[in-house]
């Protein structure tokens, strides 16, 4: 854990529980159950990390791999805030032309 009090930053485990991967026409919409990575305490369910009060930003388009880990803190209203998660844009090598 980094910091003290409400602003303590701590690691979280994420389990994908809903949403879609996204593609070249739509944004990914993954939702997660969030668990404290140190205590295994379930903190919240059905979390969209792009909705307030969370701070995660996804690319506008493209296939996104679901996250498994992140960092969070509590805000002044005691709401869980996901600041960073390990969602990754999935890319593939272009096919070579003959």
H or E element, residue 58:
none
pTM across the whole model: 0.86
If phi > 0 it is left, if psi is from -120 to 50 it is alpha, else beta; for residue 53 that is alpha
In the chain, domain spans: 5-89
Quote the tokens at residue 63.
Answer: 């296939």
Q: Can you give the pLDDT of all 98 residues of the chain as single tens digits?
A: 676 666 789 999 999 999 999 998 999 999 999 999 999 999 999 999 999 999 999 988 889 999 999 999 999 899 999 999 999 998 776 677 76
């Amino acid at each position: 854990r980094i910091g003290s009090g409400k602003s303590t930053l701590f690691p979280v485990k994420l389990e994908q529980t809903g949403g879609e991967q996204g593609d070249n026409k739509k944004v990914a919409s993954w939702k997660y159950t969030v668990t404290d990575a140190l205590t295994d305490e379930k903190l919240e369910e059905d979390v969209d990390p792009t909705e307030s009060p969370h701070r995660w930003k996804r690319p506008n388009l493209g296939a996104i791999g679901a996250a498994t880990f992140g960092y969070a803190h509590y805000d002044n209203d005691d709401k869980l805030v996901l600041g960073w998660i390990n969602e990754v844009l999935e890319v593939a090598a272009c096919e070579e032309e003959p």
